Amino acid sequence: MAQLFEKSKKVIEAHLAGTSIRAISGSMVAYEGNVQFKSAGFGGGDGVIAGLKRRATGESLSLMECTGNGRVFFAVNGQHVTVVNLNNETLQVESQQLLAFAGNLRTDVSFAGLRGASTGQGLFTTTVSGVGQVALLSAGGPLIHLEVSPQYPLVVDPDAFVAARGQLSQSFITDVGWRSVMGQGGGEAFSLRWDGQGVVLIQPAER
C-alpha cells in the first residue's frame, strides 16, 4: 500500500512501491522515480448520477492517479496539510479540502445541504471509507480537532468545516443570530450541527 506522510506543514509526500494513489488534479509539485500520472475521473463514482452531482455542486472533484515507484510531493496554494488514517471507518470531507488518498478506499459524493444561494458551494461532501490514508487541506493554519459527545453536540460554521469521523449525524440550524451579530448577515445563513460520538475537524480560516 502506498504511504502518505506530512513532509512539512504544507506538503504531503507519497511513497510509491509499485502502488498507486489518487490526488486532486494539479496538486503535484514535484516527484522522483518512475511514476506515471493519468486522469482518474471524478471522486463521486461513475455514471449519470455522478455527472448530475457534479453539475449540482458546481465544483469538479477532478482526480489524477499516480502509479509506480518513487516519491511524489503534493501541495495546494500554501494550505496546511494533515494525514488522517482510516481503519474500516468513514470520513466525511468537504470536497474542496480533499488533497489525496491511498489504500483500499471507496469514495462517494453525498448530499450535505445547501450552504447558501450566493455561493452554491458545500452542496455535497465526499465520503471516503475503508482502510487507508486521506490527506486533507486546511486554510489559515493546522486543522483543529473538536470532540463531539452525546452530552455536547457541536455547532460549526459551514465555511470552517473540513471533515468529520465517528458515529455522527448532521443537521442544520437556520436561526443563526450570531452570524448577524458578527457582521456576516445576508444570504441564507445557517450552521451545521453534529450529534453523536466522534470528531469534527475545522480550519481556522473561512473559505
- pLDDT grade for 141, boundaries at 50, 70 and 90: very high
pLDDT: which is higher, 112 or 150: 150
Does the structure show a pLDDT above 60 at 186?
no
Tell me which amino acid residue 68 is: G
**Among 34-43, 157-166, 198-207, which is the least confidently predicted range?**
34-43
Least confident of 29-43, 96-110, 152-166, 173-187: 173-187
Based on the number of CB atoms within 10 Å of its own CB, is 108 exposed (0-12), middle (13-18) or buried (19 or more)? middle
* Cβ neighbour number for residue 102 with a 10 Å cutoff: 23
Q: How many CB atoms lie within 10 A of CB 62?
A: 14
Closest CA to 37 of 23, 50, 57: 23
> How many Cα atoms occupy the beta-carbon half-sphere of 134 within 13 Å?
28
Contact 73, 7 (CB under 8 A): yes
pLDDT bracket for residue 183 (50, 70, 90): low
Q: Quick one: cell of 172?
A: 442544520
Residue 4, pLDDT > 90, answer: yes
DSSP-based three-state secondary structure for 195: strand
Q: Residue 70 forms beta bridges with which residues?
A: 16, 33
**Higher pLDDT, residue 190 or 15:** 15
Inform me whether the pLDDT recorded for 136 exceeds 90: yes
**Spatial CA neighbour of 34 closest among 10, 6, 68:** 68
Of 116, 110, 121, 107, nearest to 172 by C-alpha is: 116
- As given in the structure block, the three cell numbers for residue 129 are 471509507
Which grid coordinates belong to 78?
A: 500554501
Query: Which one has a higher pLDDT value, 199 or 120?
Result: 199
3-state secondary structure of 198: strand
Q: How far is CA 24 from the centre of its chain?
A: 11
Are the C-beta atoms of 160 and 97 separated by less than 8 Å?
A: no
